């Protein structure tokens, strides 16, 4: 090969490599932007409830019955913890199915069940834990 032949091959190889590098860079930039703009799943669907135990305060609350079996439930619920501020919706834990609007089955992160909704709680948390302990 002569020197002039080598000179012609190198720019073509360089341009292909440079074009591939630009293509890869744009792909990484677009992927990063897409991932940053998507909301995280937990934050997007977390419902906030304030647990009330007084029948009077429970009149306007979501009235639910906690059930021990997922097949009996209207919804499976994952409790993520305590909300950072007072929750806007009240939640009253029923003792029986008569006045309950919905039946919930509480899942834990150890369970291999995808929850229908994720919640955080404020209010009377000892009553919540007492009810969940009594059904398991």
4-47 pLDDT, tens digit per residue, is 555 555 667 777 878 888 888 888 888 888 777 765 544 457 88
Q: Do 47 and 34 fall into the same domain? A: no
- Shared-domain flag, residues 33 and 83: no
Name the 3-class secondary structure at 95.
coil
**31 and 46 together in one domain:** no
Please tell me the predicted confidence (pLDDT) of residue 131. Answer: 87
**Are residues 26 and 63 part of one domain?**
no
The answer to whether residues 85 and 128 belong to one domain is yes
Same domain, yes or no: 32 and 55: no
C-alpha distances out from residue 101 to 45, 64, 108, 110, Å = 20, 6, 22, 27
pLDDT at 4: 53
Confidence (pTM): 0.64
Whether residues 16 and 51 fall in one domain: no
Residue position matching structure tokens 């074009």: 19
Same domain? 31 vs 54: no
Are 126 and 64 contained in the same domain? yes
Parent domain of 31:
1-38
Residues 102-131 have pLDDT tens digits of 999 999 888 888 899 999 999 999 988 988
What pLDDT shows up at residue 5?
A: 52
What pLDDT sits at residue 112?
83
- The Cα–Cα gap between 79 and 107 comes to 8
* Count of domains forming the chain: 2
Q: Say what the pLDDT of residue 105 is.
A: 93
Per residue in 51-75, pLDDT tens?
998 877 667 889 999 999 989 999 9
Residue 42's pLDDT is: 44
Are 24 and 75 part of one and the same domain? no
pLDDT value of position 2: 53
């Amino acid at each position: 090969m002569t020197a002039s032949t080598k000179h012609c091959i190198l720019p073509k190889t360089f341009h292909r490599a440079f074009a591939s590098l630009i293509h890869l860079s744009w792909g990484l930039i677009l992927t990063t932007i897409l991932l940053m703009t998507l909301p995280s799943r937990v934050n997007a669907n977390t419902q906030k409830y304030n647990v009330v135990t007084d029948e009077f305060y429970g009149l306007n609350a979501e009235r639910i019955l906690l059930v021990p079996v997922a097949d009996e439930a209207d919804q499976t619920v994952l409790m993520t913890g305590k909300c950072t501020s007072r929750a806007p919706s009240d939640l009253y834990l029923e003792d029986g199915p008569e006045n309950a609007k919905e039946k919930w089955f509480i899942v834990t992160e150890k369970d291999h069940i995808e929850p229908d909704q994720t919640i955080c709680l404020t209010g009377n948390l000892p009553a919540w834990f007492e009810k969940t302990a009594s059904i398991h």
